[in-house]
């Protein structure tokens, strides 16, 4: 079945990864696992009859998810798409109630974000949503709260990794493999962005070289808390003080004390990032 031809015949229709539940919308299952969704009011009697024929056609005995086959390297050919930009949201979900429908859960997850091109499980608990536009920073910040509601509705625990932004299919396939592997190694959090997950991974590969650069003051647990608080607030002293439950002047005193001891000014972003990387390579709890 030529899906692009169908979209030309029914320009008012759209492709979705799960059926649309709104009334008076016809959902036509397609061989690639997607659905062609079109409002009944937009269809002539002849068009309805044609869609009925398509919908009742016998399915392939072994339907192939073309996007999953491409992303996992099973096939080198990507599905035909007009999308020019791509981003993957990887998910790992565990249901406390095994009777919950994975398909319904995946559809509900897809409803939390815009521009979903496709979605699928790649194992019993892991899978992905493929977006045709990168998710905004504001939307990704809101995703954690929405995910908590979704988990409550489905008696589930979900972790997401928001992957990188790609502008061609070759990069997408290569990046998907790396992101999938990375997702299995990062600490489980509700929502993790690639920018957060990648830095510790890169530091880990160079830990043996970076660790000797960390002097005694950088190995101190309280100092590492200070550095992490400043880094995660982009150097905002007031916010970092709030996160550490100390007065702003107390934090400024600790910053000055650290500069006198180490020579690094944590109010300068280059020094802050450098010290942050060293703390990742030499975490305090691993120092004997």
pLDDT at 71 over 90: yes
Rounded Cα gap, residues 115 and 131, in angstroms: 5
pLDDT above 60: residue 158: yes
This prediction has a pTM of 0.67
**Confidence at residue 287, expressed as pLDDT on a 0 to 100 scale:** 40
Percent of the chain with pLDDT over 90: 48
> What pLDDT score does 95 carry?
94
Where is average pLDDT lowest: 9-23, 145-159, 270-284? 9-23
The 10s digit of each residue's pLDDT in 178-203 is 999 999 988 888 999 988 888 888 88
**pLDDT of residue 29 exceeding 50:** yes
CATH architecture of the domain with range 78-195: 2-Layer Sandwich (3.30)
The torsion angle over the Cα atoms of residues 50, 52, 53 and 55, rounded to 10 degrees, is: 120
CA 222, CA 274: separation in Å to the nearest integer? 17
Pairing state of beta strands 156-166 and 191-193?
A: parallel
| pLDDT over 60 (residue 112) | yes
Three-state SS letters, the chain: CCHHHHHHHCCCCEEECCCCCCCCEEEEECCCCCEEEEEHHHCCHHHHHHHHHHHCCCCCCCCCCHHHHHHCCCCCCCCCCCCCCEEEEEEEEEECCCCCCHHHHHHHHHCCCCCEEEEEECCCCEEEEEECCCCCHHHHHHHHHHHHHHHHHHCEEEEEEEEEEECCHHHHHHHHHHHHHHHCCCCCCCEEEHHHHHHHHHHHHCHHHHHHHCCHHHHCHHHHHHHHHHHHCCCCHHHHHHHHCCCHHHHHHHHHHHHHHHCCCCCCHHHHHHHHHHHHHCCHHHCC
Domain ranges in the chain are 3-55, 78-195, 206-286
Contact predicate 182/228, CB 8 Å: no
């Amino acid at each position: 079945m030529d899906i692009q031809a169908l979209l030309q015949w029914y320009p008012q229709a759209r492709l979705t990864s799960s059926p649309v539940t709104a009334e008076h919308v016809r959902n036509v299952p397609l061989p690639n696992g997607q659905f062609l969704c079109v409002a009944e009011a937009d269809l002539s009697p002849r068009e309805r009859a044609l869609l009925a024929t398509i919908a009742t056609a016998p399915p392939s005995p072994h339907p192939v998810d073309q996007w999953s086959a491409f992303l996992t390297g099973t096939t080198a050919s990507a599905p035909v798409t007009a999308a020019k930009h791509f981003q993957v949201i990887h998910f790992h979900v565990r249901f406390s109630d095994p009777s919950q429908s994975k398909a319904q859960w995946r559809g509900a997850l897809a409803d939390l974000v815009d521009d979903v091109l496709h979605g699928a499980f790649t194992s019993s608990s892991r899978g992905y949503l493929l977006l045709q536009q990168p998710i905004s920073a504001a939307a990704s910040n809101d995703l954690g709260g929405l995910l908590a509601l979704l988990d409550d509705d489905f008696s589930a625990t979900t972790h997401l990794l928001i992957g990188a932004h790609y502008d061609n299919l070759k990069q997408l396939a290569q990046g998907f493999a790396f992101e999938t592997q990375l997702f299995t190694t990062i600490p489980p959090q509700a929502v993790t962005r690639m920018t957060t997950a990648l830095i510790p991974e890169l530091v880990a590969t160079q830990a043996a070289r970076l660790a000797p650069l960390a002097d005694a003051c950088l190995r101190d647990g309280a100092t590492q808390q200070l550095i992490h608080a400043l880094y995660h607030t982009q150097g905002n002293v007031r916010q970092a003080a709030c996160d550490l439950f100390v007065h702003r002047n107390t934090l400024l005193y600790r910053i000055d004390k650290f500069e006198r001891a180490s020579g690094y000014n944590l109010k300068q972003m280059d020094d802050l990032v450098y010290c942050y990387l060293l703390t990742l390579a030499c975490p305090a709890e691993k120092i004997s």
